[in-house]
Amino acid sequence: MEINLLTLCYLLGSVSFIVGLKMLSHPDTARKGNWVAAAGMAIAILGTIFLYSKDGVKLENYGWIFGGLAVGTIAGTLAAKKVKMTSMPEMVSLFNGMGGACAALISIIEFQHLTHPMLVQDNMYAAAGSLDGATLLIIFAGLIIGTISFAGSMIAWGKLNGSVKDLAFNGQQIANNILLLAIVGVATYLVYNISITNYYWFYFITAAAVLYGVLFVLPIGGADMPVVISLLNSFTGVAAACGGFLYDNQVMLTGGILVGAAGTLLTILMCKAMNRSLMNVLLGSFGASSKGEQQAITGSYKEISITDAAVCMSYASKVMIVPGYGLAVAQAQHICHELEQLLEEKGVEVKYAIHPVAGRMPGHMNVLLAEADVNYDSLLEMEDANNEFKSTDVVLILGANDVVNPAAKTDPASPIYGMPILEVEQAKTVIVNKRSMKPGYAGIENALFFQPKTSMLFGDAKAALQKLVAEIKAI
């Protein structure tokens, strides 16, 4: 009866993951979907603690178990409540790395359980032959993928908060690929030939996977970080699924598969948005600068006053707002929504143009605007937005840079060349709000800022929008 109840708990948990993931696809149901999935996880965890048994023996050490749950719950709750929206990508990378570390630790612990009898028996080869090759394969897969996810996520976390800089050396891609082949080769050999004389190579694989994870992410430029985050997320899911196989745990397996599949699909979408192939990502060959000298940017920029910008937008028929990381830094999403409502009251059609990799992680701008109760129907994906720019009177760019840079289309030497962008230059007037003329996250100049139809509105996004709202009200 207890086994049946535990199976039911796992079934409820698995179904809740699927339902919750489906609900996350729309902002109106996303919050509820998160609670549904969390409730399913709680059922699965409590069911395992109180109902699981092996050979009639239940789990013990409840003090340690609930102590760990309490520490994790408190730390996670405080981190989630205190984190700013601008720091959300870093927290996602950090938490994702913790998931990869857990999967790797599971593999290490299970490997020690399997090899311990071999180490204490006199006939080491007979003992080694009794090890299950399929189980070893799963252990090695969970170890390698989980460790790479952990190490890579930690580097991504450091890059996003500015504590880790890009670092690359000549031949790094070749070195990375050789290291990966060595890891896979040694693991394959051990699966078929594990013995007391070579079992310690397992720990070499662990160290090598850490090194590979670091080298894999270290050279990648900031403009490519959304792809990295989604890819590492899929790695963690696959590693967790390996743990589900090891423990014959259906809910762990289902959750890992869902995370792995969702992360893979998101990676493919991000690759498409960055005009890169999935194989290019897996080989670690993206993020490097293009060869050759970049096109020189000539001309001068012109500024626009708050009053002129307010008049320009108030008497427009259609306004498109392009949010970027600068909007997130200034926490200006709420005042931006107020501007939208004010313009609509004046009969202006207002929509948002969302680039797939705007911000520092996939969906960053969507989450930001959803927090301010911006209507989901007002958010246009890149292709739809590009179709409407020609009929747009004013485009207001709030802190976005690389995703509107025409060099992606015109300069083969640019690091972002080939990346699909928001073609804002097709609108009649472009107003760009930035703190300064400093380059964006990709570290390159933007020719858009020097075009005749473009005007610069300098200042903090929140302060500039507050003044703009006040001026529009006075018109």
User: 78: left (phi > 0), else alpha (psi -120 to 50), else beta?
Assistant: alpha
CA–chain centroid gap for 466, Å, is 31
Whether residue 126 has pLDDT greater than 50: no
Polymer length in residues for the chain: 475
More confident residue, 154 or 123: 154
The reply to whether 335 and 411 lie within a common domain is yes
The reply to whether 62 and 103 lie within a common domain is no
Known catalytic residue at 402: yes
Strand order in the sheet with 429-434: 379-381, 349-354, 318-323, 394-398, 429-434, 454-458
The reply to whether 255 and 320 lie within a common domain is no
Burial of 204 (0-12, 13-18, 19+ CB in 10 A): middle
Q: Does residue 111 sit within a domain?
A: yes
Q: pLDDT-derived band of residue 288, with 50, 70 and 90 as boundaries?
A: very low
The reply to whether 198 and 314 lie within a common domain is no
- Quote the domain boundaries for residue 164: 87-288
Domain end among 36, 63, 82:
82
Q: Does residue 298 sit within a domain?
A: no
pLDDT tens per residue, range 6-35: 889 999 999 999 999 999 877 778 889 999
3-state secondary structure of 156: helix
284 closest CA partner among 152, 165, 413 = 152
pLDDT tens per residue, range 174-192: 898 899 999 999 999 999 8
For residue 345, give the CATH number of its domain: 3.40.50.1220
Question: What is the pTM for the complete model shown?
Answer: 0.81
Domains: count for the chain: 3
User: Given CA atoms 164, 169, 174, 180 in this order, what sign does their dihedral have?
Assistant: negative
**In Å, how far are 100, 151, 166 from 210, measured between CA atoms?**
11, 5, 18
pLDDT tens per residue, range 333-343: 999 999 999 99
160 closest CA partner among 94, 212, 213 = 94
The reply to whether 91 and 78 lie within a common domain is no
Q: Does residue 295 sit within a domain?
A: no
Question: Do residues 254 and 225 touch, judged by C-beta distance below 8 A?
Answer: no
The reply to whether 245 and 334 lie within a common domain is no
Q: Does residue 444 sit within a domain?
A: yes
The reply to whether 78 and 91 lie within a common domain is no
Q: Kindly report the CA angle at 83 between 79 and 85, in degrees rounded to 5?
A: 145
Q: What pLDDT shows up at residue 125?
A: 44
Given 55, 308, 373, 402, the catalytic residue: 402
Rounded distance, CA 5 to CA 3, Å?
5
Residue 184 identity: V
User: 363: left (phi > 0), else alpha (psi -120 to 50), else beta?
Assistant: left
Which value, in Å, is the radius of gyration of the alpha carbons in the chain? 26
Whether residue 293 has pLDDT greater than 70: no
Q: Does residue 297 sit within a domain?
A: no
The reply to whether 67 and 99 lie within a common domain is no
The reply to whether 217 and 259 lie within a common domain is yes
Domain end among 36, 56, 82:
82
442 closest CA partner among 289, 164, 223 = 223
The reply to whether 256 and 361 lie within a common domain is no
175 closest CA partner among 220, 216, 144, 231 = 216
The reply to whether 103 and 200 lie within a common domain is yes
3-state secondary structure of 222: helix
Domain end among 288, 316, 344:
288
Q: Does residue 137 sit within a domain?
A: yes
What interhelical angle do 62-82 and 27-51 show, nearest 10?
Answer: 170
pLDDT tens per residue, range 31-56: 899 999 999 999 999 999 998 887 77
Whether residue 108 has pLDDT greater than 80: yes
Whether residue 291 has pLDDT greater than 60: no
- What residues form DSSP beta bridges with 275? none
What interhelical angle do 27-51 and 250-274 show, nearest 10?
Answer: 150
Rounded distance, CA 455 to CA 449, Å?
7
| 429 Cβ contact list (under 8 Å, min separation 6) | 312, 393, 394, 395, 453, 455
The reply to whether 227 and 318 lie within a common domain is no
Whether residue 193 has pLDDT greater than 80: yes
Residue 29 identity: T
